[in-house]
Structure 1
Amino acid sequence: MALVTSTEMFRKAYEGGYAIGAFNVNNMEIVQGITEAAAELKSPVILQASAGARKYANSIYLVKLVEAAVELHPEIPIVLHLDHGADFATCKDCIDGGFTSVMIDYSGHSFEENIAETKKVVEYAHAHGVVVEAELGTLAGVEDDVRVEEGMSSYTRPEEVEEFVSRTGCDSLAIAIGTSHGAYKFKPGTKPQLRLDILEEVKKRLPGFPIVLHGASSVPQEYVKIINANGGQLKDAIGVPEDQLREAARSAVCKINIDSDLRLGMTAGIRQHFNEHPDHFDPRQYLGDGRANVKAIVAHKITEVLGSNNRI
């Protein structure tokens, strides 16, 4: 099976009341951990690359790594997606380079500017058989080149979604309902609460249309503790409650982005390995432990949060 778009994935997810995991990739071990878990659990999957990942690994390397995963696991549908494309030029480069899905994130601009840039990307992408994710509303936090200060984020306005989707022709829409980028989402003692009422209002206005949630890592505390026990100094923080994500997946959310959890798992595996084996210097040993954690995290998300297992 070749790389696919998310069109059929999202149709099935919407009708089935589950979501597809969109996992950020940066190197071979992360690609392997994600796709091995997805293949064993018979789950479709989206592998996505941010601007930072493309700078670090080079877009060509990432495409080839994902193509290798497709060859090794032809039984599962795999999408290669650009996460947070900053402008038309970035999206065009990925479309021309083999991505099957791109996100144009112009949410930090005015409503009209967002529409104009998104429509431009949509027209080019659709002419090349590629689908487009857009965004309305802005999430706080930091993820690679995406930086929104606390207090500057804004919830999606449901009354704008119909006009935006109609005028741009985008294929899915990322909305802001209380998630945030990065590992430091909410302080201990707070009670994170997604604005599922906004999601339901968007669903009413866009029946059958796939919605996307960014910044949806849950910040697993077991990995935070491992990192801190092995020389790390991570701040105390809690992530998005997984029961709320599962509720969103049963509604109109068809794609849930997960990045920070994978980074925490990879780092925890490496730090613990060196603590237990200080004489090791073979990358295959310590990166292998990191990869095992990535696989375990993805398996948990697929079965307990997304509900996408046994969907192919």
Structure 2
Amino acid sequence: MPGKMTSVALMGVGAYGAATALNAFVAPGAPTTQGATQQRQQVRHLRQAQQAAASQGASSVNVGACALGAAALAAGAAKAGKRTPQRAQVARCATAVAKKIGFKNLPASVKAGVVTGQALVDLLGYAKEKGFAIPGVNIVGTGSINACMEAAKKAGGPIMVTFSKGGGQFIAGKAADNSDDKASIAGAVAGALHVRAVAELYGVPVILHTDHCQKAWLPWFDGLMEANEEYFEKNGEPLFSSHMLDLSEETLEDNIAICKKYLERMAKVNLLLEMELGITGGEEDGVDNSDVDSSRLYTQPEEVWQVYETLSSVPNGNFTVAAAFGNVHGVYAPGNVELKPEILHNTQKYIKEKLGCESDKPVSFVFHGGSGSSVEDIQYAIEAGVIKMNIDTDTQWAFWDGMNKYQKKNVDYLQAQIGNPEGPEKPNKKYYDPRMALRAGEESMADRLVKAMQDLKCIDVL
């Protein structure tokens, strides 16, 4: 984000930038006052921290060094106006260096925090090239948002935080006025602003996304677009990174036409569109496809080509395709779901021939209904160009499971405000404080997500 220091992962750079900035404000040959001596000592300490970062890797640098580096840069910038233009220029260069440094492995455009526009396109392209996929998780509040970013920090990979229409309403509050989708819009916007406020603190790239939006829910989508456009006007980037349209219940022609219309609008503010072809079975967040004809669970290559050909014609238009290949929302007993990732492989070959291009994976696919799928099917789908997989049911269970285990472990301390096995007058506040059970849910969800990231080969890719 403009005007902010990069994340904890870049602390070595922060230390280096701070040392450079401090040098700019200690004039050569100046009298050695006590203040100047202290400044030089700070410079030496910061240089030592930067040298340690170079030898050990940026992730091992002490947090205090980054904080001191940021503070020194801020102090230097404040003094720049009172110093010579040359010194002010040095300070600006030091700040610019700190902002431009990204991750060791990822494209240079990708920084810690929310990723949008070209940086998002670069990140997804890198995932396809290197053969990993990013987990997308439907969240319902700040607890599950934070669990997503905690998992990404632990795993060393990017994460997608996804808001559904119902999830947005829940964040706003179920008692809030939701006429004209006001609460669903406001809640999703509030959640996105929360992510933007804290994402850089986790030191990972975060994609802000919204989930299934059927035709009847387009007013919700329009409200989100207005929020993006307003944010873009003020900040030069959209509030969210991407949005999904699920018009798979419409005819193929209507699906493509509506998606093109919205992509033309989205392209003006550098938003990426995810569109759905075919039906993802099962039920999720008010969308129930549990009784759908099984033939609609499998997308044909010709359909994907029609989408690709049309959406590729939109200037600055970027999109991904959620093509159905037997995927189903929810977790089912083995044998009840027949995934056919070969559909994606065949589709890539078909479109490569149509385009006459060199790339073996011209389409960026996303995988819905990933919970309960075998690792073999998941990784075979990734080989076909899947760059994101939704994992919701398993993470929802993990959050609940963590809270449930906390309750069982501490049940004797959760029966009353006062009185437990340690004595009839012993207080129990530290056990029934809601943060305790919620934190147990966050930790459990983060652990499950780390396992998902291992399956997606999204480990240590930063």
Q: Work out whether the TM-score is over 0.5.
A: yes
| Residue in structure 1 matching 2:374, options 226, 229, 241 | 241
Decide whether the 8 Å contact of 2:136 with 2:391 is kept in 1. yes
User: TM-score under structure 2 normalisation?
Assistant: 0.59
After TM superposition, the runs of 4+ consecutive aligned structure 1 residues lying more than 4 A away are: none
Q: 1:19 aligns with which of 133, 136, 142?
A: 133
Residues 148 and 29 (structure 1 numbering): CA distance in 2 closer, same or farther, change over 3 Å? same
Residue 157 of structure 1 is matched in structure 2 by 300
Q: CA deviation at 1:264?
A: 0.3
What is the alpha-carbon root mean square deviation over aligned residues? 1.7
**Aligned equivalents of 1:196 and 1:60: distance in 2?**
35
In the alignment, the residues of structure 1 paired with residue 142 and residue 292 of structure 2 have an alpha-carbon distance, to the nearest angstrom, of 36
Indicate the structure whose relative CO is greater, using CA pairs within 8 Å and at least 6 residues apart.
Answer: 1
Q: Displacement, 1:69? A: 3.2
Bigger drift between 62-71 and 288-297 goes to 62-71
Distance of 1:308 and 1:289 partners within structure 2: 24
User: Residue deviations 1:37-77, cap 9 Å, x none?
Assistant: 2123220111111111111111233112211332312x321
SS at match of 1:133: strand
Asked whether the 8 Å contact 1:35–1:69 carries over to 2, the reply is no
Asked whether the 8 Å contact 1:22–1:255 carries over to 2, the reply is: yes
Separation in 2, partners of 1:2, 1:77: 5
**What CA distance in whole angstroms lies between the structure 2 residues aligned with 1:95 and 1:101?**
10
**Equivalent residue number for residue 281 of structure 2:** 140
What is residue 62 of structure 1 aligned with on the other side? 191
The CA distance in 1 between the partners of 2:226 and 2:457, in whole Å, is 33
Residue 201 of structure 1 is matched in structure 2 by 346
- Uncovered stretches (5+) of structure 2, i.e. residues with no partner: 1-111, 172-186, 228-238, 313-317, 352-360, 415-430
Amino acid at match of 1:95: M
Q: Are 2:306 and 1:176 equivalent residues in the alignment?
A: no
SS at match of 1:256: strand
| Alignment partner of 1:4 is 2:133 | no
| Cα distance in structure 1, aligned partners of 2:309 and 2:198 | 35
Q: Give the Cα–Cα distance (whole angstroms) in 2 for the partners of residues 91 and 36 of structure 1.
A: 28
How far apart are 1:29 and its partner, in Å?
Answer: 1.5
**8 Å Cα contact 1:172-1:211 kept in structure 2:** yes
The answer as to whether partners of 1:17 and 1:250 remain within 8 angstroms in 2 is yes
Paired residue type of 1:48: T
- Are positions 1:296 and 2:447 aligned together? yes
Alpha-carbon distance between aligned partners in 2 of 1:159 and 1:118, rounded to the nearest angstrom: 17
C-alpha deviations, 1:80-114, integer Å up to 9, x for none? 00111224433332233321100011011101110
Deviates more, 1:78-87 or 1:98-107: 78-87
Instruction: Name the CA distance, whole Å, in 2 between partners of 1:61 and 1:276.
Output: 34
Per the alignment, residue 81 of structure 1 pairs with: 209
Q: Which has the higher helix share?
A: 2
Q: 1:26 to 1:259 in 2, by over 3 A?
A: same
Letter in 2 for 1:212: V
Q: Normalising by the residue count of structure 1, what TM-score does the alignment of the two structures yield? A: 0.86
| Distance of 1:272 and 1:146 partners within structure 2 | 30
Contact 2:328 2:337 (C-alpha < 8 Å) held by counterparts: no
Picking from 112, 117, 120, the partner of 2:261 is 120
Instruction: Find the aligned partners of 2:374 and 2:336 in 1 and give their Cα distance.
Output: 9
Q: How far does the alpha carbon of each residue in 1:145-165 deviate from its partner, in whole angstroms, 9 at most, with x for none? A: 211133435111111111112
Opposite residue 253 of structure 1, the aligned amino acid is V
1:191 to partner: Cα distance = 6.2
Cα distance, 1:123 vs. partner? 0.8
SS across alignment from 1:171: strand
1:230: which partner in 2? none
Provide, for residues 243-274 of structure 1, a one-character-per-residue CA deviation record: whole Å limited to 9, x for no partner.
21122113211110111111100111111221
The residue aligned with 1:217 is 371
In structure 2, distance between residues paired with 1:196 and 1:270: 35
Q: 1:16 to 1:129 in 2, by over 3 A?
A: same
Q: Alignment identity in percent? A: 27
Task: Please list the CA deviations of residues 170-229 of structure 1 after superposition, one character each: whole Å capped at 9, or x if unmatched.
Answer: 51000111111123xx335x26442022111112134322101101012xxxxxxxxxxx
Q: Is 1:95 paired with 2:243?
A: no
Unaligned 5+ runs, structure 1: 219-239
Rounded to whole Å, the distance in 1 between the matches of 2:399 and 2:451 is 15
Aligned residue-pair number: 286
Preserved contact between residue 177 and residue 196 of structure 1 (Cα < 8 Å): yes
